Amino acid sequence: MQQKENDLQIPADIRYIAIEGVIGAGKTSLANMVAQRLGARLVLEKFDENPFLAKFYEDPEHYAFQTQIFFLLSRYKQQQELFQADLFHSHVISDYIFEKDKIFAYLTMRDDELKLYENLLATIEHKVPQPDLVIYLQSSVDRLMENIEKRDRVMERNMSETYIRELNEAYNYFFFRYKSAPLLIVKATDIDFVNNPEHFEDLLQQILRPNKAPIEYYNPFVRRT
């Protein structure tokens, strides 16, 4: 049995969709668009509430631990609130997965800091709900840097290409080994789901297609040839 919302057929086994990607990949934009189209509850990461984030971008070595611990506890609290009673929405769309926290932690923290982080993580990670579907927006470093420059957030203006390249490599490594939920990897470098309605509708149909394999890849240009 499938549930119908806004004239779209949503597979019955998909209630919670999480969208992921490197900084600048467009995950928040896509999450907003999908949630609006499906009439779903939108859950966005509260990165702007982290008081250490701007300092981290200026001095990563000294602020990595504080930044990451704040994110870890903030994300955990938000995940615990995901499925509290909601009379108006039967589906949830998020712009992150809880497990992303480890990507940043292992990329930025020192070994002694990681030990403390791992001890804390071990006490809470098993209590976090898993998405029914994860969408990974895979993009090139050039496209990511272009998107970061276009949106022009103050704290991101001095973000280095080296950091984005390392982060992109870490994301690829993580998601090519990801097994916690069904995964749709979107080749996002050459598509524009924000400004091209055809790209968005085509992608949405892939997201909602039932009977997915554990890992699938989506590129509209390849699929149509």
Per-residue pLDDT of the chain (225 residues; tens, 9 = 90+): 344 445 678 888 899 999 999 999 999 999 999 999 999 999 999 988 999 999 999 999 999 999 999 999 999 999 988 877 565 678 999 999 999 999 999 999 999 999 999 999 999 999 999 999 999 999 999 999 999 999 988 888 888 999 999 999 999 999 999 999 999 999 999 899 999 999 999 999 999 988 888 889 988 765 443
User: Angle at the Cα of 39 (from 32 to 186), degrees rounded to 5?
Assistant: 45
Q: How far apart are CA 177 and CA 75, in angstroms?
A: 22
**Three-state SS for 186?**
strand
Q: How far apart are CA 203 and CA 121, in angstroms?
A: 34
Pairing between β-strand 41-43 and β-strand 92-94 as defined by DSSP bridges: parallel
The conformation of residue 82, written as its DSSP 8-state character, comes to T
What the chain holds in terms of domains, given with CATH numbers, is: 3-223 (3.40.50.300)
pTM of the predicted protein model: 0.90
Contacts of 224 (CB under 8 A, 6+ apart): none
